Amino acid sequence: MKKLFLIYILLLLPVFVFANDGYKLWLQYLPFENKAITEYYGDYLDNTVLLGKSPTHDVIQKELELAYSGFFDKNPGNISRTSVGSGLLWIAKFGDLPKEIRETITDHAQSLNDEGYLLHYLKGKLIVSSKTDIGLLYGTFALLKKIQTRQKLEDLHEISNPKIQKRLLNHWDNLNRTVERGFAGFSIWNWHRLPQHIDQQYIDYARANASIGINGTSITNVNANALVLTPEYLEKAAALADAFRPYGIKVYLTARFNAPMVLDNLPTADPLDPKVQQWWKDKTKEIYNYIPDFGGFLVKADSEGQPGPHNYGRTQADGANMLADAVKPFGGIVMWRAFVYNEHTPTDRIRQAYDEFKPLDGKFRDNVIVQVKNGPLDFQPREPFHPLFGAMPETPLMMEFQITKEYLGQDTHWVNLATMWEEVLKSDTYAKGPGSPVSKVVDGSLHNYKLTGIAGVSNIGTDRNWTGHHTAQADWFAFGQLAWNPEQNIDNIGEDWIRMTFSNDTEVIKTIKGIMMNSYEILVNYMTPLGLHHIMARSHHWGPGPWVTGGGRDDWTATYYHKANSDSIGFDRTEKGSNALAQYAPEWKETWGDAESIPLEFLLWFHRVPWDKKLSTGNTLWNEMALRYQKGVEGARWMQKEWSKLEGSIDPERFSHIASFLNIQVNEAEWWRDACLLYFGQYSKMPLPAGVEAPKHDLTYYLNFKRNFVPGI
């Protein structure tokens, strides 16, 4: 009787006995659901042969053992490291495979590059192969993803090469462990303990990045500190590079342009000065002595107070080429950011990068790649694609996405950034007629670039779940997937992440995917509908601030961009205004240049519009704006309601954490709506339309709303 009661109690226990803090990211390796699935995958994983010897092969074995322990909830069996005997799963480079297997897949090998991999089912055997150790690691992670997402292995025939060469995370981490625009705690790099101590999180960071194909990391802030180029810190950076190397990840450093003056008291940092050029050559040689496979430099210059070639009357090409010449003998590259705007307030800031770089097309060294933000302003919730894409056929351009959500609710709002990135990547530049999307500029195929790259500004910190919001892990994951292939389907990326992170249950997938794929448009509606932009609070950028004006620069204010008055609102970028529209192809001038036919998503980005103007929806501008703000709030509430359906289907720790953040998101969506409509309403002088809730407070309340020590500054 006592035994039966105990069994009954055990049956009542929830499915999720152990807490899940999210640290394992998408590498959860969750136990199989039933005996049939366990036996199916077990046949392969219990009969694994791994051939070859290298630190990367050791990494592969460790990953297989971790996966096995998770899938089967027991210690892994032996993985054979010899070709003697039979195996059902073979993991080896082509040259290491037994002859009878190698001969049957020779044709496939010819189509792979150095990082590509082959997954192939052959007469009862599953083959993971490649030309290189790193390709083999990528192939192993690809196979483990197939198992995590419960795919049939007998159907596998996948040849996969990355379409972009340099796939980097850009950390905006400072040497004091603060993170600019970081919202998930402090920097994971504990410089004080380096180089003696390699934290396990560094290894897990490398694992996570390798699992999604990221092969480079710039570990310090683009607002650079020259100290990172000193022996004290080069020794520390070298320790990280050693830890990352088996995972195929190269270390890059941010270079402060006036480092020769800061570190060695040179009187100038003029890029055409021979002494300055020699200083950088000597410094570069020193770096490579510490880090033989150092990737190169990332540079922010002539922007937001950072020194650059402008200080000496030189061009961006002069500055970039000086550094390119220094790293060239060692195989390094220079990533030169195009986020450059004049120290004086311009007539329209979004014109400046194009105006500065377009005349320099073809004047950069062949190991320079210009890093361009996805839009021409600054990572706003919605921007048109940057006009430089398609405009520099002789100069390789790399994409810079922001994974951290500086302007998109920071770490407490759930918004699927892949939706925004896909919108940008699919945008047609018309550089070679229709069918010239941004994705083909970035992967090099449109202009035959010899050097290609993509960077994502990291959202990683010391929070136990890495990214603050559990769902922000999906942005890191999606960035890696799109970096490998920028034309991947984001629905598939999202579903893979859900399956690997939470569950393979059909209803769980459907619910989470529904929230994810609607979250971006919901956020745009409650923050910046109809092409509004740069209306966040000053400095920390948290929350609404359409009233922000004054200060050192007009173009760091909100009023500069919306210019609301009693007649109208919006920034005229047509030929009657700043004519920034002229930087795009004629097809876009036709699409965006007509206020009557422009998609409403970009209306106020390109046009000034009267408050009482009737739009294509049948609403006046004011009513449409108010209704979209309301729609955004209702969307956030819908997300919260949908998530609540998953209680009991998601482990309690992560379920509660996300539910708590969704409550914050709903409250802040209401804050955005109320503050913006009260502020703009004083100019429109029109009542709120039916269906839009009245604000909770008056405008004075929102104008005086303050919070101290908002993170991420």
| Cβ(124)–Cβ(88) below 8 Å | yes
- Residue count of the chain: 713
Number of other residues whose CB lies within 10 A of the CB of residue 75? 8
Catalytic: which of 378, 443, 495, 496? 378
Cα separation, 338 vs 378, whole angstroms: 11
Cα separation, 368 vs 665, whole angstroms: 41
Cα separation, 444 vs 451, whole angstroms: 7
Catalytic: which of 158, 199, 235, 304? 304
* 490-501 vs 417-425: helix crossing angle, rounded to 10: 160
- Residue (of 246, 255, 184, 195) closest to 219 by Cα position: 255
Cα separation, 532 vs 509, whole angstroms: 33
Prior bond to 292 cis, omega within 30?
no
What's the burial of 359, exposed, middle or buried (CB within 10 Å: 0-12/13-18/19+)? exposed
Instruction: Give the H or E element holding residue 702.
Output: helix 699-703
DSSP 322-390: HHHHHHGGGT-EEEEE-----SS--S-GGGHHHHHHGGGTT-S-TTEEEEEESSSSSS-SS-PPPTTTT
Q: Across the strands, what pairs with 333?
A: 296
DSSP 501-562: HT---HHHHHHHHHHHHHHHHHHHHHHSGGG--S-BPTTT--SB-TT---SS-GGGSSHHHH
DSSP 9: H
Catalytic: which of 115, 406, 634, 668? 406
Task: Determine whether 406 is an active site residue.
Answer: yes
Q: Where are the beta strands (DSSP E) in 21-156?
A: 48-50, 89-91, 117-122, 125-130
Half-sphere exposure of 683 (CA within 13 A, CB side): 22
- Residue pointed to by tokens 């959500």: 405
Task: Determine whether 304 is an active site residue.
Answer: yes
- Residue (of 247, 251, 292, 293) closest to 57 by Cα position: 247
- C-alpha distances out from residue 412 to 418, 468, 472, 529, Å: 17, 7, 9, 20
Instruction: Give the catalytic positions in this structure.
Output: 304, 378, 406
